[in-house]
Amino acid sequence: AQRVTQPEKLLSVFKGAPVELKCNYSYSGSPELFWYVQYSRQRLQLLLRHISRESIKGFTADLNKGETSFHLKKPFAQEEDSAMYYCALSGQGGNKLVFGAGTILRVKS
Amino acid sequence: DTGVSQDPRHKITKRGQNVTFRCDPISEHNRLYWYRQTLGQGPEFLTYFQNEAQLEKSRLLSDRFSAERPKGSFSTLEIQRTEQGDSAMYLCASSLFGQGNHEQYFGPGTRLTVT
């Protein structure tokens, strides 16, 4: 079964603190992993994908196949990072996305 | 092109009525996806098209739901005999399959409330 688990509904940190949003997945095969973000009153948008191995807005995520995890990290949180973050997976080749339930990140000043 | 658009943005209907939503994808995108999102959950896949062909349907898509993409451009999602459990945000996304990263671009959603 394809499943994405985000164990935290809410993560609240102070500005400048490190952030780690957890994501674990189950998938039989080699999935593609993504992080999507939804800022207040905006549509869902792609933040980053594991195959790109790039840093977007200071965020990085490494795919750990042994632990079936794809945690999102940022060393120093900024207030503008406050948003809903969804981890998602798809099979190879751009098929449907399977999303986790999402984590609200609140960055306090 | 300003991205994926959906119409209407909000729909309130009485139980038992039929509703239809429209999605206009990014013009050159050949794949179009429908998802449903309920409060506190991530989006759940409903169905997707490649051009005009409907390639996959979720078990969530009961026989009261039907989706079309007649000319491989815009798509409609119809719900017949709506139930209160159909209340949700319906999201549409599109992607360009076959070239590069096939990223899915999402629309703003249609929020359905069934009273």
Place of tokens 């992993």: A33
pLDDT in tens, B7-37: 999 999 999 999 999 999 999 899 999 999 9
CA distance B108 to chain A (A): 5
Taking an 8 Å cut-off on Cβ atoms, the answer to whether B43 and A99 are in contact is yes
For residues A18 and A51, the model is more confident at A18
pLDDT at B2 over 80: no
Taking an 8 Å cut-off on Cβ atoms, the answer to whether A49 and B35 are in contact is no
The reported pLDDT for the residue numbered A93 is 64
Distance (Å) of CA B26 to CA A7, A34, A43, A73, B108: 34, 21, 15, 31, 13
Return the bridge partners of B66, or none.
B78
pLDDT in tens, A34-52: 999 999 999 999 999 988 8
Assign A94 a pLDDT band (cuts: 50, 70, 90). low
Give the one of A43, A52, A94 whose C-beta lies nearest to B102's C-beta. Answer: A94
The reported pLDDT for the residue numbered B45 is 96
Tally C-beta pairs within 8 A across A and B.
Answer: 51
pLDDT at A103 over 90: yes
- Secondary structure, 3-state, A24-85: EEECCCCCEEEEEEECCCCCCEEEEECCCCCCECCEEECCECCCCECCEEECCCCHHHCEEE
**Cα–Cα nearest to B64, from B76, B53, B78:** B78
pLDDT at B101 over 90: no
CA distance B115 to chain A (A): 24
Q: Which of residues 61-80 of B touch A (CB under 8 A)?
A: none
Cis peptide before B8 (omega within 30 of 0): yes
Assign B1 a pLDDT band (cuts: 50, 70, 90). low
Are A47 and A35 within 8 A, CB to CB?
yes
**Cα–Cα nearest to A6, from A95, A72, A80, A61:** A72
> Does B35 touch chain A if contact means CB atoms closer than 8 Å?
yes
**Cα–Cα nearest to B102, from B61, B38, B48:** B48
The reported pLDDT for the residue numbered A99 is 97
Mean pLDDT within B87-95: 97
